[in-house]
């Protein structure tokens, strides 16, 4: 048998995109490819791109150009670009960066092997309609103890600023039985933490005619032995049912953590965004806080949306101050071609929007520090993730209110723990986003 071909991989964007990358890698490694950390000299380089907003587009272009330079001098045998950026710009790309051999849209994940083997170069595009990870042998990229369970693809909401429904197609939920099987396999492989993802997890099952899709899934998953933490990421504010909150409140395995992208709180802005729901965001926060278990809330806010004057921004700041949420990410509105919001009046100057973003982040940093200081002296379960990136004298891990990649971490300066173990840690020091603690006997 000849030597295995090598593949160099870059996965940009969100965890939903990462699942596509893992599927493509599963297919390619089944064909005999092996992964390499070095791009130069690789047989194939695969970049799975994001194209959601201009910053992501820029990052995709920069990464492609870097590898195109290698391809131009034959230091790479084949360059393949996949994902949202390709879905967004399609055929135009072929002319712009001719060094790329293959461009695969978001509906082409399952076809990567035939495309790579084919003599037909260029752009492969189709309307995303299926579920790419149903038939793919997925090769997980995340550490052995944590995994993303993608429960649906696409989105059928119509937020006026968002291109996702165009890039990823309408909502397609994965059948419940398949998800339960996938979770079982994950547990058997040593996964302790399952992170549930989709564009909007609360819509899960609607397209399959299920009324309580997410709630049913969680009730069934909770019986899965081996899985210690189930974490809920990306839930639309209008989908947080009382039944869902009750499950989080009463089932230990489900992390008391909700990621709810509010985007804004002003009624007029929310209506223009196409995200107004019957319940005001403040009422929803109060409803979540009424539960016995303290449920951590992460949100994403958008500043500089057309029509956001000082008055609307002040309302948003007041919300941030009042709600004292656990984690907040702030985006500056980016005007994207092909969205409804592109034509909206009342544009906000970019310097103003940037300043608003900084103002919220500053306020949230103070809130975050205050909350962290209150945690000193408490003992909390922490998922140990190995040695700290800064020094091997410290271990690092995450508490249940810390999602992988986006939230802070707990640094452990005393005691022993193995990667992937959940240990009781006593918190001894607090910083804006991170905590320090010691493993308890």
Nearer to ligand SF4, 184 or 276 (CB): 276
Nearest distance, CB of residue 319 and ligand SF4, angstroms: 19
Kindly list the residues in this chain that would bind ligand SF4 in the complex (CB under 6 A): 155, 157, 159, 162, 164-165, 199-200, 236
Nearest distance, CB of residue 214 and ligand SF4, angstroms: 14
Distance of CA 9 to the CA centre of its chain: 18
Nearest distance, CB of residue 405 and ligand SF4, angstroms: 18
CB-based burial label for 75 (10 Å; 0-12, 13-18, 19+):
middle
Nearer to ligand SF4, 146 or 263 (CB): 263
CB-CB contact of 419 with 410 (8 Å): no
User: Both tokens of residue 166?
Assistant: 């165009």
Nearest distance, CB of residue 159 and ligand SF4, angstroms: 3
Nearest distance, CB of residue 156 and ligand SF4, angstroms: 8
Nearest distance, CB of residue 204 and ligand SF4, angstroms: 13
User: Both tokens of residue 178?
Assistant: 């398949």
Nearer to ligand SF4, 260 or 323 (CB): 260
Nearest distance, CB of residue 198 and ligand SF4, angstroms: 9
Nearest distance, CB of residue 270 and ligand SF4, angstroms: 12
Nearer to ligand SF4, 184 or 268 (CB): 268
User: Both tokens of residue 421?
Assistant: 């173990």
Nearer to ligand SF4, 53 or 363 (CB): 53
Nearer to ligand SF4, 155 or 430 (CB): 155
Nearer to ligand SF4, 48 or 199 (CB): 199
Nearer to ligand SF4, 145 or 161 (CB): 161
Report the half-sphere exposure of 104 (CA within 13 A, side-chain side). 25
CB-CB contact of 227 with 253 (8 Å): yes
Nearest distance, CB of residue 274 and ligand SF4, angstroms: 7
Nearer to ligand SF4, 199 or 368 (CB): 199
């Amino acid at each position: 048998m000849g030597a295995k071909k090598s593949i160099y991989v870059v996965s940009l964007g969100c965890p939903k995109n990462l699942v596509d990358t893992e599927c493509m890698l599963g297919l390619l490694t089944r064909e005999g490819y092996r992964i390499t950390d070095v791009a130069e000299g690789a047989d194939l380089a695969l970049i799975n791109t994001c194209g959601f907003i201009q910053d992501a587009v820029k990052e995709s272009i920069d990464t492609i150009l870097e590898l195109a330079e290698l391809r131009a001098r034959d230091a790479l045998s084949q360059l393949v670009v996949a994902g949202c950026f390709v879905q967004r710009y399609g055929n135009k790309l072929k002319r712009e960066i001719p060094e790329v051999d293959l461009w695969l849209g978001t509906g082409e994940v399952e076809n990567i092997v035939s495309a790579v083997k084919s003599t037909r170069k260029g752009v492969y595009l189709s309307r995303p309609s299926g579920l790419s990870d149903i038939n793919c042998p997925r090769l997980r990229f995340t550490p052995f103890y944590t995994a993303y369970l993608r429960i649906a693809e696409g989105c059928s909401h119509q937020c006026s600023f968002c291109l996702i429904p165009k890039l990823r197609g309408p909502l397609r939920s994965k059948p419940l039985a398949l998800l339960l099987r996938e979770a079982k396999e994950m547990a058997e492989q040593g996964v302790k933490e399952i992170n549930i993802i989709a564009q909007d997890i609360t819509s899960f099952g609607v397209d399959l005619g299920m009324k309580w899709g997410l709630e049913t899934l969680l009730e069934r998953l909770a019986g899965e032995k081996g899985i210690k933490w189930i974490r809920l990421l990306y839930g639309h504010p209008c989908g947080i049912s009382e039944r869902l909150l009750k499950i989080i409140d009463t089932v230990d395995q489900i992390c008391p953590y909700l990621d709810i992208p509010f985007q804004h709180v002003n009624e007029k802005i929310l209506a223009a965004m196409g995200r107004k729901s019957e319940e005001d965001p403040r009422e929803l926060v109060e409803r979540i806080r009424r539960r016995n278990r303290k449920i951590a809330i992460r949100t994403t806010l958008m500043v500089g949306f057309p029509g956001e004057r000082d008055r609307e921004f002040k309302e948003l700041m007041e919300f941030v101050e009042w709600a004292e949420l656990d984690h907040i990410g702030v985006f500056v509105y980016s005007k994207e071609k092909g969205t409804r919001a592109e034509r909206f009046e009342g544009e906000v100057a970019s310097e103003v929007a940037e300043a608003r973003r900084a103002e919220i982040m500053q306020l949230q940093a103070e809130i975050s520090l205050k909350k962290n200081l209150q945690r000193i002296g408490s003992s909390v379960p922490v998922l140990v993730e190995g040695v700290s990136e800064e020094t091997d004298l410290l271990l690092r891990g995450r508490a249940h209110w810390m999602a992988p990649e986006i939230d802070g971490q707990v640094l452990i300066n005393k005691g022993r723990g193995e990667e992937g173990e959940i240990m009781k840690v006593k918190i001894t020091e607090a910083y804006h986003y991170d905590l320090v603690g010691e493993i308890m006997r």
